[in-house]
Structure 1
Amino acid sequence: MFIKQGNSAAFVLRIIGLAQSTYYDRMKRRSRSPQAAPKGRGRPVPGYSITESGEKISDEQIQEWLLELVAGEEHVYGYKLLAKCLWNQYRLKLNHKKSYRLCQALDILQPQRQKRFKHPRKLPENRLITGPGQLWQMDIKYGYVAGRDRHFFVLSIIDVFTRVIVGYHRGTSCEAKHACQTLWRALDQHCAPGSERPVIRTDNGPQFVSHLFGDMCESWKMTHERIPPRTPDLNAFIESFHSNMERDLFRKEEYATFEGAYEALDRYMDFYNHRRMHTSLRNLPPVRFSEWVMSLEDRSAFFWPRKKAK
């Protein structure tokens, strides 16, 4: 419509974010006659497949063979194993895509298995955090070693109330077992025996949706919350910490080895916890702020007056 009004195609396409090649390709295909217009993009369907000896077998014959297979013992097979059966019996070269298409046309596809989650996702709740050890947030950050042209992982756990990094892992891999080990060490160091466990909040990374991580949280009787996709604001404290790490450390230094990167990261973590002042923590480092809060006899003296909600 805007192009018909006299605006240039390049100008309109830049506004709507469509590539010029895509636009002109669609215009070219639309200008063809309906008889010559292809049904889809890509090469046309040949209508046959080839055996090992080079013989052409029509799709109709292949479909007859497929029906014969599903009428017998092979009815338990899916489209991939049916293609394998045709190779074993007729030496027919049939890839999984075409096997799927032919089985779909015959309506003989096996029903898809429903994915079952051992630990269903629990969405975050709004909580009033009044002390340490009530809510921890976990997330993963990537660092880069220029000398090796490779990345490494940094998994961090932050206490939302005190901003203390209670545990972290760095390495060339970060699997569910590393997340469990890091969380276990943090609990051992920062939670007294018999005390209430903190709520753990993460995104939906494979480390956190794994059976191993879910089993650990269940065995330790911890609540594990997973934020919905594309909602990093619900994990804002750990996201903010990783943003500061990127700005203060990774953008300012280049590393030739993994050992050098890990040493720099360890120094930064020590600086952040023990010496880096936070204006939101009364200009105290996280560890000193935590010690100060724990020393208060009357915790209510800590909280600033707030306006009542309307």
Structure 2
Amino acid sequence: MAVATHSAGRPVPGLSYTQDGKLVSDEQICEWIMEFLAGEGASYGYRKLTVLLRSRHGLRINKKKVYRLCKRMDVLRPQRQLKIKYPKRLANNRVITDSNQLWETDIKYGWLHGEQRFFFLMSIIDVFDRVIIAYHIGLTCESRHLVQITQEALMKRQLFDKVNKPVIRSDNGPQFISH
């Protein structure tokens, strides 16, 4: 026994209108789409095909209808895959019981009205006691500045030669990996 499928929404009318109000069947539209794909629109997707149908044949047609027709004819191009440029990972949830176990870097910026430019404040904060250990204020904020204030923080807390150094965490991933 076959189960009848029920599709939601109104039924497909099977025709469209031109700007003049004339009726055009879906078969004719499919024929035009195939002509475009055989010629200049070989690499076009359904959105560009919609623009071509509107401009060349004066159709009042929606991109969703062109998508449905292309899908029915099995001429849709494969969808492009987005490439993740860096690994997205969640930070480890840590239990902090003492100072110098976890440090956090933070970047803030402001506007210098007189000079018409931005300034940056990068700081290293001890998560346990919420003290700013080292900071950098300047017109640029680069990785070399982070290295410099990390060395300053290690010297201030006398951890430069120790084995158990603090973990440094940052919420500023996009700033640190940008090109």
Alignment partner for residue 134 of structure 1, among 102, 112, 129? 102
Task: Tell me how far 1:107 sits from its aligned partner.
Answer: 1.4
Contact 2:14 2:26 in 1 (8 A): yes
Give the Cα–Cα distance (whole angstroms) in 1 for the partners of residues 8 and 105 of structure 2.
47
Contact 2:46 2:67 in 1 (8 A): yes
Contact 2:105 2:168 in 1 (8 A): no
Pairing of 1:145-160 with structure 2 (within 5 A)? 160=127
Q: Rate the CA distance shift 1:128–1:46 in 2: closer, same or farther, 3 A.
A: same
Alignment partner for residue 192 of structure 1, among 144, 149, 157? 149
Contact 2:99 2:126 in 1 (8 A): no
Letter paired with 2:41: E
Pairing of 1:165-176 with structure 2 (within 5 A)? none
Task: Tell me how far 1:72 sits from its aligned partner.
Answer: 1.2
Task: Tell me how far 1:128 sits from its aligned partner.
Answer: 5.6
Structure 1 segments unaligned to the other structure (5+ residues):
1-33, 139-156, 167-180, 202-207, 220-310
**Count of aligned pairs between the two proteins:** 134
Q: Rate the CA distance shift 1:158–1:44 in 2: closer, same or farther, 3 A.
A: farther
Task: Tell me how far 1:55 sits from its aligned partner.
Answer: 0.8
Structure 2 segments unaligned to the other structure (5+ residues):
107-123, 155-166
Alignment partner for residue 125 of structure 1, among 76, 92, 96? 92
Higher strand share: 2
Q: Are 1:97 and 2:64 an aligned pair? A: yes
Higher relative contact order (CA 8 A, sep 6+): 2
Aligned-residue Cα RMSD (Å) equals: 3.6
**Correspondence for 1:72:** 39
Task: Tell me how far 1:163 sits from its aligned partner.
Answer: 4.3
- Deviation string, structure 1 residues 223-252 (Cα, Å, up to 9, x no partner): xxxxxxxxxxxxxxxxxxxxxxxxxxxxxx
Query: What's the secondary structure of 2:41's corresponding residue?
Result: helix
**Correspondence for 1:44:** 11
Query: What's the secondary structure of 2:17's corresponding residue?
Result: strand
Contact 1:137 1:160 in 2 (8 A): no
Instruction: Give the TM-score normalised by structure 2.
Output: 0.59
Give the Cα–Cα distance (whole angstroms) in 1 for the partners of residues 33 and 132 of structure 2.
59
Alignment partner for residue 176 of structure 2, among 217, 230, 233? 217
Task: Tell me how far 1:159 sits from its aligned partner.
Answer: 5.2
Task: Tell me how far 1:117 sits from its aligned partner.
Answer: 2.0
Instruction: Give the TM-score normalised by structure 1.
Output: 0.36
Task: Tell me how far 1:164 sits from its aligned partner.
Answer: 5.7
- Deviation string, structure 1 residues 176-212 (Cα, Å, up to 9, x no partner): xxxxx9xx6xxx8xx83535783124xxxxxx7xxxx
Give the Cα–Cα distance (whole angstroms) in 1 for the partners of residues 60 and 126 of structure 2.
58
Query: What's the secondary structure of 1:102's corresponding residue?
Result: helix
Alignment partner for residue 49 of structure 2, among 63, 67, 82? 82
Higher helix share: 1
Query: What's the secondary structure of 2:31's corresponding residue?
Result: helix
